[in-house]
Amino acid sequence: MVMASYEHLFNKLEDQFLLTKEQMAPIIKGFISEYQSGLKTPSTGIASMIPSYVTSLPTGNETGTFLSLDLGGTNLRVNAVQLLGDGQVNMVENKRLATVELKSGSGDAFFDWIADTIQELITVKAPHLFKPEQVNGQETLSLGVCWSFPIDQTTLDRGTVLRMGKGFTMPNVQGRDLSDMFHEAFKRKNLNVRVGALLNDTVGTLVAHAYSNPRSRIGFIYATGCNAAYPEKVSNIGKWDETQRSRFNPNDEMLINTEIDIFGDDTYLPRTKYDHQLDKNHSQPDFQPWEKMMSGAYLGELTRLVAMDFIQQGALFDGVVPAGWDTPWSFQTAMMSSIERDNTASRDESVKILESVYSFATRPSKDDIQAITRICRIVATRGAIMVAVAIASMIEKQKLHIVDSNEIVIGMNGSTYEYYPYMDVRVKKALRTWFGSEVSDRILLEIARDGGSIGGALIAMLAAAE
């Protein structure tokens, strides 16, 4: 196969995927419209623009030791976080596996297990980070909880547990206040700890990064899924009634969990036939259309669908579909990453990656590898553009590009952003396409880590300071 013979196919693909400034405009406008709508719509069921009740960001000068807890689908991570000032921290973690027995046992047993994990951290693993009166229980320790499950949050430190999922089937937990269940367990274990804050991991990412760079105004997670947080004026939270808003100064800013992953529809998203094909065959069609165009969960499948089209037109693998290539989700985003990273002259590493999953009639040629690499690059670059339009919409919502000439700091977290080759460069290029160099040169995309741990401790600290 001579790649030049099929250049028209690549040109057509680039026309669909590599969006111009003019094509970015309706997406950014659509996102801003969804922010406005979400701020007015009550946060019930599947909701966006969820208030966090966090009304301040750290300065970087805070000190003291606080606890954080991060519970995902499998692991419990409890951290002692010592804030040293000047954006510096010491941290010790106690990590445990949530077993099937714990997930399906009684709620009391589960929260007792968490309390035991915290007690071990304080008294055995990290007593050197605490004051003696905190270790012996004379002084209350504040805990920030990153709870990766739905809750109906009513204040910074209170919220009702909704259906958990991820294999958690504990009876008598759903419908109860999360903080109450923690405090009952702490009392049973004679542990002087109080829940100071409940938080979302994206809000935690923004707060954690603001400790190291107080100019941070957006927290963005780009991994298997996507989400983002930014500060919004309380007066703009139209979903609240006057009683709720009166608890805050109207000019206060509150961090908002956008749940941006559920944004998008065909009125402004330029979805291709490949996007529609992926969506149609997904277990949740018509849900999260924007995320399906760009997140780590979907880039590999989009690449597989594009490549299948190329194979059927004779532009790849001599027109012969490799055994297994027609299996949905068989081409992983991690494979794309490895293929794009393969700089060997022979491209043998890329061949090995493909042959580890698929059976070929004849060994893929160098032209084949160049073609599949180019497809990966085009699909991943659109992913970067979709990240950039989301960031641009939050910059414009806050008017950060026009209020002053300071740096605009974005805390970026997530495996797809951090580890996919050239992703940071591509996001930055797309931002330059939209804003021009004068504004885009002020936008700093900085790696932000430990949202659930450092962010949780910081939010607990901010709550204790109020």
Q: What is the mean pLDDT of the chain?
A: 93
Closest CA to 458 of 61, 127, 72: 61
**SS3 breakdown of the chain: % helix, strand, coil, rounded to 5?**
45, 20, 35
Q: Is the pLDDT of residue 466 over 80?
A: no
Q: Which two tokens stand for residue 461?
A: 């600290």
Indicate if the pLDDT at residue 465 is higher than 80. Answer: no
DSSP 452: T
∠247-253-259 over CA atoms, to 5°? 100
Q: What are phi and psi of 340, to 5 degrees?
A: -65, -25
Residue 14: other Cβ atoms inside 10 A: 14
- Note the CATH architecture for domain 1-52+213-449: 3-Layer(aba) Sandwich (3.40)
CA 408/CA 217 separation, integer angstroms:
7
Tell how strand 151-155 and strand 158-161 pair up. Answer: antiparallel
Tell me which CATH code domain 63-199 carries: 3.30.420.40
From the CB of residue 2, how many other CB atoms can be counted at a distance below 10 Å? 7
Examine the pLDDT at 186 and tell me if it is beyond 70. Answer: yes
Q: Residue 80's pLDDT is what?
A: 97
pLDDT, one tens digit per residue, over 13-51 is: 999 999 999 999 999 999 999 999 999 988 766 778 989
pLDDT score for 251: 86
Q: What's residue 157's pLDDT?
A: 94
Domain boundaries in the chain? 1-52+213-449, 63-199
pLDDT digits (tens, 9 = 90+) for 66-79: 999 999 777 899 99
pLDDT, position 1: 44
Q: What percent of the chain has pLDDT over 90?
A: 83
Average pLDDT over residues 328-336: 97
Q: Which two tokens stand for residue 42?
A: 């009550």
Where does 238-359 have alpha helices with state H? 242-245, 273-280, 299-312, 333-341, 348-355
